[in-house]
Amino acid sequence: MGHIAARDIYRRLGHAIDNTPVRTPWNDAFHAMLRELYTPEEAELVVRMPYRPSSIGRLERVTGMDRARLQVLLDRLCDKGLVLDIREDGDHVADATGTAERRTASAHGHAEQRGHHEHHGHDGHADHAYPHAHPHDHSRSPSAHAHSSLGSPASPAHDHPDDGCLYMISPIVIGIFEFTMMRTGGALPSKRWAELFHDYMFGDRAFLDANFGDGQRVSVMRTLPHLETLGDHVEILDYERAAALVEQNRTFAVGLCSCRHEKHHLGTRQCDVDMETCTSMGTGAEYLIRHGFARRIDKSAMHDILARSRDLGFTLSADNVQQGVGFICHCCGCCCNLMQGIRQWGHAGVLVTSSFIARCDASLCNGCGLCERACPIDALSLPVPPDGRKRDRRCTVDEAYCLGCGACALKCPTGALRLHPRERKVLHPADSFERVILQSLERGTLQNLVFDNPNSRTQEFMRGLVGGFLRLAPVKRALMGEALRSRFLDAVRRMAG
């Protein structure tokens, strides 16, 4: 009967991960991946963990596990990237980015005072008036460049005072996939991991359909435009300037690009850039350095990476927030999984566009085709005109898919292609709190952040009741719409303290 019990714990683990802001529909590929990454004991802990970030004190009460054993398991899971330890010792320059962190920690402080309502298996629910999202964008991947002389990844650290450290389940992206494929050292089964992730995410369309099949607008990442490709007199805000994002931080790190590492082991990688190209900043960089996923670099190295990506025509992308941006990815069409999702399954929302779109001045276009080859998602074409003369081809932009990255314009020899403001405003959440709330609302998991104790029967009932209401199409449309969205988010912030 042991194999039946083991399968059951991994099925329950799959359900727990599916209840995060990124959906993970169950299938045999997902089951195989979970068995490879989690021991049964680790799976049992994650299944019992609350969906919101929680202190070890709260985890001890909610899971019913001995604190000493709990800490050992948490340390192990964090070093594997399967649980996130979120600390309030970040050094991001902008004070505003700490608001969500302080709000969440404060609310959890109130929760600790009411902990007697929340023992493992108890139906108490006094602690759950606060629907918290991540305190910061832990989805932050690390990156920088291979020429830094600042050393190799730091050894994983386990100095974990109870105050200021919160633990939460890693979502599959950005989280389990990235951190697993960023691991280095020892005899790691990276090829096996790459195959498992590919089988799950691209073996069929179930994973991407579950997260983008209904036209969802909120994703974990957004495109950054290359400034050199903006049209004349075009204004751009700092949150869309890669260099400005770097200047807002003091801590930086670089690690393996998870997508390139995966494609390397799958044998499908076509680019020859160094795989150590994933840059992170602030608290995201600190997390990755702390657990050995990345190594520390300086600000000049960050700027060097940006320059190299511009020269190579890569697409820049960052976490989909305006405040507290923690990573910048340097993406190519042959490796990036987000771009593969757009090309293979047609889900344009996988990577949120910038506020700009490429437009071609036909009078300047010479039909050379360099832009078509530069576009990482095949959003440009040069159709042969009706008269059949190939020399009269002109660039055409598919505006439904254009990312607004400027990779095409970087290669345009005549200046015919430039980025211009989009007519419709793009939804870029203010911070990670807003992003997680909206992302969860679109995917039907917001109720799990409100009633987050998976061990409480009362909260299970409330999750079903509230979740059923929030999943109603008219309700979801209204809360995501321009008229109500700001008021809805303001109300959630007030509830969160």
Q: What does the pLDDT read at residue 341? A: 95
Give me the helices (H) in 19-98, please: 28-37, 40-48, 56-63, 67-79
Question: Residue 74 corresponds to which tokens in the numbers above?
Answer: 């948490």
Task: Respond yes or no on whether the N-terminal peptide bond of residue 174 is cis (omega within 30° of 0).
Answer: yes
Q: What does the pLDDT read at residue 88? A: 66
Q: What does the pLDDT read at residue 410? A: 97
Distance, in Å, from the CA atom of 59 to the CA atom of 258, rounded to the nearest integer, reads 30
Block residue for tokens 């050199």: 228
Closest CA to 470 of 496, 497, 437, 493: 437
Q: What does the pLDDT read at residue 489? A: 94
In sequence order, what DSSP letters do the residues of 222-279 get, joined into one string? EEE--GGGBPTT----GGG-HHHHHHT-S-EEEE--HHHHHHHHHT-----S-S--EE
pLDDT digits (tens, 9 = 90+) for 91-146: 433 333 333 333 433 443 443 344 444 554 444 433 433 333 333 343 333 332 22
Q: Is 64 helix (H, G, I), strand (E, B) or coil?
A: coil
- H/E element holding 255? strand 252-255
Distance, in Å, from the CA atom of 448 to the CA atom of 50, rounded to the nearest integer, reads 9
Residue 442 half-sphere exposure toward CB, CA atoms < 13 A? 25
Q: Is 327 helix (H, G, I), strand (E, B) or coil?
A: strand
Block residue for tokens 């007030």: 494
Block residue for tokens 């050094």: 91
Nearest-Å Rg of the Cα atoms of the chain is 23
**What are the structural domains of the chain?**
1-355+425-497 (no CATH), 357-401+409-420 (3.30.70.20)
Flag residues of the chain having pLDDT under 70: 1-7, 88-163, 497
Closest CA to 325 of 435, 211, 166: 435
Distance, in Å, from the CA atom of 299 to the CA atom of 263, rounded to the nearest integer, reads 28
CB 177, CB 197: distance < 8 Å: yes
What is the sign of the dihedral through the CA atoms of 394, 399, 403 and 405?
positive
Question: Residue 179 corresponds to which tokens in the numbers above?
Answer: 């951190």
Closest CA to 413 of 369, 470, 465, 473: 369
Closest CA to 13 of 86, 79, 78, 82: 82
Q: What does the pLDDT read at residue 497? A: 66
Mean pLDDT of the chain: 86
Beta bridge pairs of residue 254? 279, 295
CB 390, CB 384: distance < 8 Å: yes
- How distant is the alpha carbon of residue 410 from its chain centre? 27
167: left (phi over 0), alpha (psi -120 to 50) or beta: beta
Distance, in Å, from the CA atom of 494 to the CA atom of 433, rounded to the nearest integer, reads 12
